[in-house]
Amino acid sequence: MASRVAAETGRLETVERNTLQEQIYQQLRNSIMSGFFKPGQPLSTRAVAEAVGVSVMPVRDALRRLEVEKALVVGHNRTLEVPRLTSDTLHEICQMRVALEGLAVERAASAIRPTDIRMLESLCATMDEGIRNEDSDAYLQANWAFHSQIYQSAPGEILMSAIESLWLRMGPYFRMVAGDRGHVHTAMAIHREIVLAFVQNDAGAARAAVVADIETATADLASWLELQQTGPRAVDGS
């Protein structure tokens, strides 16, 4: 039973009784952006409640908030599930990410601190370790933390909110290519280019590297989607 619940709900943790809805909402939201859930994966109120150790009421409210954000959609049997993307939507999100994340990284370049850079280097090391251990969860969590660390350094709450809304749609798809060695090694090379650009205080290079990261991931995901449409695909990122 415990292993089945874990498979359905990712690495959710038990929560305290205060502000239950907010804690559950934030856990689920971060898990979606980090890629812990797969496209089309159902998230039942009961399974999530069992995973975090609470009643169904705060879970239902948290799931409803995520539905409003389009991070979840109504699927089979009216159970909420992680939405699937079409190729057209994938490319539309790519264009929006290039615009928004490109702006954010340029802003961050003038505001980022040495402590932030050290954190980025540490997160790169964590991603490397996840790749070596074939631990997609560790890699994906550190990947979102890496990008989040950069964008949170940029002035502007509205910009960060807009970026997160796109990651809520994209996060589950990153799991689909997280087990692809070619993809993750290319991503890590680009991540190091981003860090180097910050060390050298080169906003243009930082922006170019982030754009390359987005466009490379989009190309890999577009290939994955095309294979899904033409035949079975064994890659599940686990």
Q: Is 129's pLDDT higher than 80?
A: yes
> Are the CB atoms for 214 and 103 separated by under 8 Å?
no
Q: State the pLDDT at residue 215.
A: 97
Domains identified in the chain and CATH numbers: 2-81 (1.10.10.10), 87-230 (1.20.120.530)
Q: State the pLDDT at residue 57.
A: 92
Provide φ and ψ at 156, rounded to 5°. 120, 105
Please tell me the pTM assigned to this model: 0.86
User: What is the arithmetic mean of pLDDT over 6-26?
Assistant: 72
Tell me the pLDDT tens digit for each residue of 47-66: 999 999 989 999 999 999 99
Tell me the pLDDT tens digit for each residue of 150-162: 999 998 889 999 9
Antiparallel, parallel or unpaired: β 80-81 and 73-74 = antiparallel
Q: Is 200's pLDDT higher than 90?
A: yes
Helix (H) or strand (E) holding 74: strand 73-74
Helix (H) or strand (E) holding 177: helix 157-177
> Are the CB atoms for 98 and 214 separated by under 8 Å?
yes
Q: State the pLDDT at residue 234.
A: 42
What is the spatial distance between Cα 106 and Cα 173, in angstroms, rounded to a whole number? 26
Helix (H) or strand (E) holding 81: strand 80-81
Residue whose entry in the numeric block shows the structure tokens 């802003």: 107
Q: State the pLDDT at residue 178.
A: 94
